[in-house]
Amino acid sequence: KSSLPTAGNGDVGACLSIPLISRLSSKAGASLQRIWPIQFGCLVRRSVLYSLQWIEGLPMDSLKPTICAEGLGFPEGPVWCSNGDMLLVDIHGGNIIRVNPDGATNIIAHCGGGPNGLAVGPDAKLYVCNNGGFEWIERRGRWFPGAIAEDYKSGSIQRVDPSSGAVETLYTHCSGRQLRGPNDLIFDKNGGFWFTDLGKTCGRTRDLGALYYARPDGEHIVEVGFPLDGPNGIAIAPDESRLFIAE
């Protein structure tokens, strides 16, 4: 565990490197990446989607952001499509949104709750970490997550057909324990996925988080790591020997 610089909003994080458990090791490439300083500073606070052009050999502060889309509620989990579109979740609206190269946006599915992380599965369906929802606070025209939603039932893993917009729930529990606030996920080459559960804050109490591994058929889920302190973004090493979790 090591300290990271502040992430634009004053939060300080840490990064955990976790060896893959051999019986669950699944040889994967990173299909979803995040740059948290950019995401907190721009995506969340300004409710716009930015594109970043990496200039080889130059530091992070040389990245040149361009606005791709505006009018988003609380965007998260961007996934690039081969046709140039981008998919993302809007936690505030409970939707999955498609962003075209010209900046046009359209809702392709309504997940309800709080869709938080997004990935494309081996079946070309969309898989969603749904945190179950927040109460929202509006400040100067921007939305910020607050306490647990009044209509919260559980966190869940959902599967979405991007063509029809049909949403089905795969998991709400693991070994009898409720999923509290699934946050981010990544698939491996065996077709399974790892995901973090940030947990929920309710009054004066806050859940400890966890790491899970599951299959996309809805038939197998196992808790791999507990307790974790607010596990958020997740990535997997190119040689698939380690997981990396932003805590």
Residues 6+ apart with CB under 8 A from 58: none
- The per-residue pLDDT for 18 is 47
> pTM for the complete prediction?
0.79
Q: Phi/psi at 119 (nearest 5 deg)?
A: -150, 155
Please tell me the predicted confidence (pLDDT) of residue 28.
Answer: 35
pLDDT-flagged residues of the chain (< 50): 1-46
Residue 142 has a pLDDT of 86
Query: pLDDT value at position 140?
Result: 86
pLDDT, tens only, 96-144: 999 999 999 999 999 999 999 999 999 999 999 999 999 999 988 888 9
Amino acid at site 142: R
Residue 227: asked if its preceding bond is cis (omega within 30°), the reply is: yes
Whole-number pLDDT of residue 161? 98
What strands, in cross-sheet order, belong to the sheet with 167-171? Answer: 115-120, 126-130, 156-160, 167-171
